Structure 1
Amino acid sequence: MGAKAARLGELLRLGWPVPRGFVISPSALSDLVAQQGSLQILERAHRALTSGDGARALRAGLEAGDCLRELTLSATFRASLEAQCSALLEGPEIEGASVSGLPSLAVRSSALVEDGSQQSHAGQFSSVLNLRSVEAVFDAVTEVWASWFSERAIAYRQRWLQDQQAGVLSLAAVPAMAVLVQRMITPRCSGVLFTVHPVRGTRDELCLEAGPGLGEELAQGRLLPDLFVVRRPLDASSRFSISERSVARKERALRASIEHEGKLQFEPLPAAARRQPCLDDGEIIALCRLAVDLEQHCGAAVDLEWALDSAGRIFLLQVRPVTALAGSGPVRSHDARPLRARPLLWTQRFSGERWTEGATPLGWSIVQPALHHFTYWEVASERWLEGSEPSRLILGRPYFNLTIFRHLAFRLPGGAPPQFLLEMFPPDEQRELQEQAPLLPNLGLVVSVLGQMVRERRWERYRFNPRTNCADWEEFQPRFEAQIADLSVDFLEIGPGLKVLEVARQLMVDYLSIHLLSLLYAHLSYEGLGILLRSWGGLGGEALRAALVSQPADNETLRCNAALWRLAWQAQQLEEVRARLLREPLPSLSELEGCEGGTQFVTAFAEFLQAFGHRSSASWEIFASRWEDSPELPLQMIAGYLRGGLPVDPSLAERQRSEEREQAERLVRTRMGRTALRRLLPWRQQLFDRLLVLSRRYMALRENQRFSFDRLLLRMKRVLERLGALLERSGALGSGADIVFLEIDEVLELHEGRLAPDLASQRIEQRRQRFNRDLLAVHPDFLSGEEAVPVPLGHGAAGGDVLVGLGISSGRLRGRVRVLSRLEDMAALQPGEILVCRAADPGWTPLFLTAGALVFELGSVLSHGAVVAREYKLPAVVNVQGACSLLQDGMEVTVDGDRGTVTLHRALKGPMLRDELC
């Protein structure tokens, strides 16, 4: 009868709160097919489905589905079904009425392949709800049978069959499809509950999601649920405790239609209910207690779907043992040695969003020494890090050395290292650090670093004080911008140009002396907010924390994107300009200037470039293309806004974020002062307020420092381009553009005659070829020594249907994928699509106004993409290994920014994990 019906039937017999029902066995369908001569059509469909010809399979499958819908029920079968349905419809009112006092039924699939060990087929077959007559149930049963041959089930099965060996194909001609008929619940709310955290893999936490009304919206990823994390009792004397709560804004609920049998409809929620949690604390604890009892009964962690009726009674709609979760099971490392004894660990997770393209030899030879000025501890490196440097180029991309953090990581008893540190490591090492990290850092290394700092007075290099670092920047920033503007690019000789470059390099060092500590304090303060919200307020969730620190008016990246939107709005008002921008190919600025209203638009566009032309999609690379160099990039973004319908004015979202921030502050104050003693002695609130102010300041610096730094990098590019032109004029270079393939020391040697032009030319050609090869290479997220570190792609009932990453922006969206390997391909992105790319520098963020959700292979909680995604309220998941190759254009997925998962609804490999509610 299928795993779904079997489990629910067993639980019902044992007295668990499962809606009453009965099962129609697969043999009933086999008998009807044999009696009515339909077997030949099904056998033809079976041959087509196993032929490997997708078009043939679809045609034959749809024909077979129509055949099943036309089956007529035998008199015996009809009489039995009518008796069973009548007994349910006329039975005791223990489950409550469905619609306006009328009981109703739900007809659900329970195929033998659902929730199986090799195939789950979850979500592929039909369920029909809100049935109030026996005739409607008859029709629904044939519809469920026919769904075996639905287009989505055929496409799913085709892909699964392609991945199997010929000897394991076991699908029969007649669908092995049981049908489950149950008394339907009228839920006040419904949801899912895991007895092990589905993202963290922690078994001391239960994760509960809840939404109003029927649960199909939640299961399909179209509803952002309330989220609660509940800690288990430590012993018999302790109790369940809610450690995190995140209450979503809910506009509507899915209910059974009163007028139309078999239909569902959305009902708007009252304004007062939209910000209220679906469950009170007592109901949350009751659900968790029931789930733990179920776990003990099943002998394993469980994933259950539940509904709560208007009387507060709990009903179980589905129960599955949890067999595969992110982070579940014992720690398994690719290396059995202790963490601190393993080979060097290199990563792109910090550098990937800063160098989204290749790093040129010249650009890297300037940036790397500036970074090493602050991060290279030579004595400690010789003793504990194999003499390695903090960074290196691998296949043309910067990688950073994580090995030192293995030595610095430690955990307090019962705690774990900071999350911002953990997210830089591969998943297996993250879990090792969470569960088995040493209680102390490597004290020998710490003493070595401190000793070198004292001997060389290195503390003078940093703006250490977290209370004054922000003020240091505010004092430094106007002077920094003025000094950048003073960097001359009009020098006529190489010598003066090199002096200008030295001034620019010192400005880079001065900037980093503040920025690196600002970045650290942003992470620490933001993580500290989360800790205080959970421990003092019982509040959690990225949405609340993001709302508290939101300040879009102070964010230069958002200001840039809003200015770009205003240009698009202006173009929309100018009919001929709009028409030209919508044509292919994209017109030049001179062509636009020649049309009616064009001069007005081009003037405004020039002002935009004056303010924001230093932006880039790979801005830490000095020679990356800037908008000032390639104005067609922002122009193409404007055309994209027009082509898809102008996005919502960002200023409206800004006002909404301000309101949400005020609401979040009120909620926190209410929770912090929930007892008389706390109100009398409000030291918790006072400390929290101070940390919140600090966190907001550092979050603003996160974007604004980079905005100013981009100006310096553009001016350095202009200086180096001028030096290249002068070297070409002197005959030292064949082309001034070739300077990018020399290192900065080689440029000096070439100018001073210590490097022969012929030898320089040879090096340039070799590096050019290597650079072009490296652009096409695969760049692993992690390297252990020189070997790529394997990273699991995801999980599922039989592998790979849920990709796992790091949730960085709250929300959930189901939509279609658009993979972009370069910003230049942006025209392909359609409104509401899920943007998938390697990483996102600030230059990518204007696309966020078009996208519906985000999936990146690289990123972090405070990456630039994360900060902007939260301001735009886009669900986002980063660190999704292989996302750009596993996900394909047009694929339907659900992005869950709270869980950090990407669920594939049209599987590439392996079956689906999640089943639909009801």
Structure 2
Amino acid sequence: MSGNLSLISAAQAASAVTEQVGGKGRQLGQLQRYGLPVPDFFVIPAGWSRQRSGGVSPDLQQLLHAELVARGWQGTALAVRSSAVGEDAAAASFAGIYRSCLNVVGAQALVGAVAEVWASLDTPTATAYRQRLQIDGEPAMAVVVMPLLAAEASGIAFTCDPANGRDDRMVVHAHWGLGETLVGGEAAGDEYVFAEDTTDVWRLLESRPGSKETMSVPAPDGGTQRQPVPLARAQVRVLDDAQAEALAALLRDAALACDFVAPFYDLEWVWDGGQFWLTQARPVTRRPHHTYPALAAQPAIWTRGNTCEVMPVALQAMDWNFSRRGCNDLLEQGWKLAGYPVLPGVQRAGLFDGRLYLEASIMQWEAWDCIGLLPERFNALMGGHQSVIATTPPTWRQRLTRGGNTLRYLRHAPAMGRRGDAEVAQALAIARELRDAPLPDNNADITALLFRVLKPAREFVGMFFLQGSGGGSLSLLLDTLERAFPGESEAIGSALLAGGEPSVTAQQGYALLDLARLAKAVAPGRLPQDAPEFARAFATFLDRYGHRGHYETYLRSPRWSEQPERLLEQLPALAEVDAVAMRARQQAAADAAWERIRRELPFWYRPLLRAQVKAANRDSNRREAARSAIISLLAASRRLWLLIGERLVGEGALDRPDDIFHLLPSEVERYAIGLLPLAGLRARLAERRALFARWQATTPHEWLTLAPTGQTAPQPPAETAPIKPADGRRFRGVATGTGVARGKVRRLRHPSEGLALQPGEILVAPSTDPGWTPLFLKAGGLVVETGGYLSHGAIVAREFGLPAVVNLPGILAALHDGDEVEVDGWKGVVRLY
């Protein structure tokens, strides 16, 4: 016998190395492990193929005969499929290159089929394909052996559009009988195209009938034969709407089980008259990058310059499920309002090493092509040190078009803003309604309850407009200031916005200060929460702001209402904050900026600037309000998912309720209705836990590039370091707050470390979100590695009149606790003394 080359079962194939079982064998084993309908099979290890010059050895013949007897497959029609090492991989599919044999009956026929499959390794076509892909070494081939399904119909499917790379489309081809005629291009089957609706269900978008003239069926003496399809049957769709959508749900589930980050697979399926089966899965190789034509030849630029503020650490599967579409929902509305032809199906969100990135190249292009915003200017608003796309000077026609887009935006924005205000109120009301709702007993009612949260989170375009496009008026203000005060627009804009009408985030901060004063007034030796006046005020605060919390954009993150002690422990230090002095600082900054405008600009500038400041303040506040509403929906969703998680723990499906965030909503639903077995659910959970642990152990790059063609993995640029003059003691970033502050450094990596921050110290953080707001009230100045002029931390720093500089990668490592620094919120400079 050839060494340790025993046959490998389907269960073993899932965890075997591809050098043993090949790409096809391992993928089929994993599909079966993940609870997908795959026929039972075994694999002949690839090592046996290295003896193929002498045919199938007696040792292997003996093994195969014994295996058929043990399985009772002596008279069963079998499918014998190639599973070469390197086949069905992400970079090389070998589709149509290697041989498969169908309707193989008996041990002797199986031996002949194995030899025939092995022989396809050495064909001129296979050799040329390996040479073209520069695959070196001796080729080896495992062989998959499984029962041949009684195929009423079969087909191939792509869980993206293989022609243009759109990931919001799924394409299925179907034909009567065996799939050979489709795979070999001998027959034109039906084509079905699916799109994802707002509830994440894949719906049939269109179907195109094929001629279906010839079909493949098993031959009486083994093998297959072609026969004509009766005209009446050829004219009938292979799948009706219900069957097609059931198949689409299965295919999407299979792709997500294999890779929920990039679920783009080429799958083969069979319908046996009673159920669908999966017989092959391979990643779609060299999927075209779906982008604007002007960007097709340029590298795709992916950045965390904005997302590392709201989602700084690794995402779990459920967080990614909401983020991948939510980013598009947020970022498209402003361009659509301006009448810009947004490319259908363009995807702006990506997940690399578990971190959320945005494709800056697409966003830079849309801002440039729609309103003429320079890519460099866009980067300053967004944050980050990513590169910029190449552009050409606009023609006069393009200038006119962009001017028209701007006017159209300005004309329609007020109505969309009012719609957004109404939807924010609706979202908060829905979240409040569901905050204490019990979990129903039946799955249909649970689904309806979750849909109450999902509907506004997918369909409230006005709310998305406020959150994603709230920087439009701020950008116009900065453009006006840049023309009047070149190089100083950011600092002057921050001063003009200081102390304006407070956003909901700033109101939250002021309410905390009021709570702190009430807590301080409680008699010594008595807990504040035992004092009636404080208890009422604290309950009111949690009623309004309890959905917020540290890293609140993650479903897994607890809310203040769940951990009120996080707030209570902050109150003693906040009681020492001089709110009157803080408001005076804000007003002084605004007064100084207006005085300079009166002194240096013509009088007719002032009405324009006042109108723009008012609009920027209003829209920044609306942006914060929309964020608060979205977070309230996330908090309601979190509560419902944890309740479902508790139920699944009781069923043995999960070990702890928050394990549910490693799963996708569709997977939970399929488990609940019996389409995903318990073992498959737990296998996916185990894989996701391990993947998440690997992600958490990685250090992400600030930005990445992806070549326009022929590259499957992003390439990191050289690490970006803080910009330093020759003296090495000054760091220049983006000025987002007002004034100048000097104090000792306090580095915090998470807001839960906030007790270490002493009043007046300079807070140095990797990123900030509204969960950091209590610390802004104590800090004398703010320095942040990430973020831009539109970041939430920048908005709140401006409101509080807090000297702040953001967009300084590496500053946490460059500074140490206790260092004395000066934060110049006017010049965007941090100086180390």
TM-score normalised to the size of structure 1? Answer: 0.51
Q: How far has the Cα of 1:627 moved from its partner?
A: 0.6
Matching residue of 2:754: 826
Deviation at 1:814, TM superposition (A): 2.9
Deviation at 1:605, TM superposition (A): 2.4
Asked if 2 retains the 8 angstrom alpha-carbon contact of 1:793 and 1:800, the reply is no
Distance (Å, rounded) in 1 between the aligned partners of 2:320 and 2:794: 25
* Residues 490-541 of structure 1: CA deviation (Å, up to 9, x unaligned): 3223321121112211111234x12443345532322222332354688955
1:174-213 deviations in Å (ceiling 9; x for gaps): xxxxxxxxxxxxxxxxxxxxxxxxxxxxxxxxxxxxxxxx
Q: Secondary structure of the residue that 2:633 maps to in structure 1?
A: helix
Residues 827-877 of structure 1, C-alpha deviations (whole Å, 9 max, x = no match): 111122111111111010110111111111111112111111112222211
Question: Alpha carbons of 1:364 and 1:465: their partners in 2 closer, same or farther (altered >3 Å)?
Answer: same
Confirm or deny: 8 A CA contact 1:412 1:439 kept in the other structure.
Answer: no
In the alignment, structure 1 residue 891 sits paired with structure 2 residue 819: yes
Q: Which residue of 1 aligns with 2:442?
A: 493
CA positional deviation for 1:428: 6.8
Say whether 1:639 aligns with 2:569.
Answer: no
CA distance in 1, matches of 2:685, 2:310: 24
DSSP 3-state at the match of 2:628: helix
**Any conservation in 2 of the 1:501–1:716 contact (CA below 8 Å)?**
yes
Equivalent in the alignment of 1:125: none
Matches within 5 A, 1:278-293: none
Q: State the distance in 1 between where 2:723 and 2:638 align.
A: 45
Deviation per CA, 1:521-572, whole angstroms, max 9, x where unpaired? 5323222223323546889554532343345544211111111112211222
Of residues 761, 772, 775, the one that matches 2:693 is 772
Output one character per residue of 1:774-818: Cα deviation in whole Å (capped at 9) or x when no partner.
234212211123232224423556585433322211333332211
Alignment of 1:399-798 (within 5 A): 399-408=357-366, 410=368, 416-417=374-375, 419-424=377-382, 427=385, 429=387, 437-440=391-394, 465-487=412-434, 488-511=437-460, 513-519=461-467, 521-535=469-483, 540-550=488-498, 552-576=500-524, 598-641=531-574, 646-649=576-579, 653-654=582-583, 657-658=586-587, 661=590, 664-665=593-594, 668=597, 673-674=602-603, 682=604, 685-785=606-706, 786-796=714-724
Partner of 2:307: 351
Match of 2:235 in 1: none
Alignment of 1:212-231 (within 5 A): none
Distance 1:341-1:892 versus aligned 2 partners, 3 A rule: farther
**Aligned mates of 1:361, 1:414 — CA distance in 2:** 37
Tell me the CA shift for residue 820 of structure 1: 0.9
Identity level (%): 27
Structure 2 residue identity aligned to 1:620: T
Amino acid at match of 1:904: L
1: CA distance between counterparts of 2:392 and 2:487?
29
> What amino acid is aligned across from residue 780 of structure 2 in structure 1?
G
Query: Residues of 1 paired with 2:732 and 2:484: CA distance?
Result: 30
Instruction: Give the match's secondary structure for 1:368.
Output: helix
2:763–2:781: 8 Å Cα contact kept in structure 1? yes
CA deviations on 1:439-470 (whole Å, 9 max, x unpaired) are 249x99xx9xxxxxxxxxxxxxx999223222
Take 1:869 and 1:347, find their aligned partners in 2: how far apart are those partners?
23
Structure 1 counterpart of 2:645, which letter? G
**For residues 877 and 388 of structure 1, what CA distance do their matches in structure 2 show?**
33
Instruction: Give 5+ residue unaligned stretches, structure 1.
Output: 1-337, 378-383, 448-461, 581-590, 675-681, 906-918
SS in structure 2 at match of 1:576? coil
Q: Which residue of 2 aligns with 1:64?
A: none
Tell me the distance in 2 between the aligned counterparts of 1:601 and 1:556: 21
What is the deviation of 1:628? 0.9
Contact map agreement 2:424 2:463 (CA 8 A) in 1: no
Cα distance between partner residues in 1 of 2:296 and 2:805 = 29
CA RMSD of superposed structures (Å): 4.0
Aligned to 1:107: none
| Residues 633, 824 of structure 1: 8 Å contact kept | yes
Tell me, in whole angstroms, the C-alpha distance in 1 between the residues paired with 2:655 and 2:768: 35
Aligned 8 A contact 1:552 1:558 in 2: no
* Aligned AA (2:415): T
Counterpart CA distance in 2 for 1:482 and 1:794 is 44
Partner Cα separation in structure 1 for residue 317 and residue 551 of structure 2: 15
Moved more, 544-553 or 412-421: 412-421
Contact 1:356–1:841, Cα closer than 8 Å, also in 2: no
Alignment equivalent of 1:369, drawn from 314, 325, 347: 325
**Relative to structure 1, is the Cα distance of residues 600 and 385 closer, same or farther in structure 2, using a 3 angstrom cutoff?**
closer
Separation in 1, partners of 2:689, 2:508? 34
For the 8 Å contact 2:353–2:700, the answer to whether it is kept is yes
CA contact (8 A) 1:427 1:791 kept: no
- The one-letter code matched in structure 2 to 1:495 is A
Displacement, 1:369?
2.7
Corresponding residue for residue 269 of structure 2: none
Q: Please give the alpha-carbon distance, in whole angstroms, between the structure 2 residues aligned to 1:412 and 1:625.
A: 40
Counterpart CA distance in 2 for 1:545 and 1:518 is: 20
2:240 equivalent in structure 1: none
SS where residue 788 of structure 1 aligns? coil
Separation (CA, whole Å) in 1 of partners of 2:729 and 2:601: 41
Describe the shift of the 1:600–1:409 C-alpha distance in structure 2 as closer, same or farther (beyond 3 A).
closer
Q: Distance in 2 between matches of 1:499 and 1:647?
A: 46
Change (3 A) 1:524 1:463: closer
Q: Which residue of 1 aligns with 2:267?
A: none
| SS across alignment from 2:736 | strand
CA gap 1:390/1:774 in 2 versus in 1, 3 angstroms? same
Q: Which runs of no fewer than 5 residues in structure 2 stay unpaired?
A: 1-293, 334-341, 402-408, 707-713
Counterparts of 1:341 and 1:425, CA distance in 2: 25
1:28-39 alignment to 2 at 5 Å?
Answer: none
Note the alpha carbon deviations across 1:689-728, whole angstroms, 9 max, x for none. 4433322221211222212222111111111112222333
Q: Equivalents in 1 of 2:371, 2:451: separation in Å? A: 49
| Deviations, residues 876-906 of structure 1 (Å, cap 9, x unaligned) | 111111122222211222322333232333x
Structure 2 residue aligned with 1:804: 732
Q: One-letter code of the match for 1:830?
A: Q
Q: In 2, distance between residues paired with 1:365 and 1:722? A: 19
Per-residue deviation, residues 332-373 of structure 1 (Å, max 9, x unmatched) = xxxxxx987443221111211111343221122133233345
State whether residues 615 and 626 of structure 1, in contact with CA within 8 Å, keep that contact through their aligned partners in structure 2. yes
How many residues align? The count is 519
Distance 1:640 1:356, change over 3 A: farther
Residue identity opposite 1:509 in structure 2: R
1:829 maps to a residue whose letter is: L
Equivalent residue, structure 1, for 2:13: none
CA distance in 2, matches of 1:413, 1:474: 25
Q: CA deviation at 1:648?
A: 0.6
1:741 is displaced (CA, Å) by 0.9
CA distance in 2, matches of 1:348, 1:485: 32
| Paired residues of 2:314 and 2:355 also in contact (CA < 8 A) | yes
Q: Which residue of 1 aligns with 2:50?
A: none
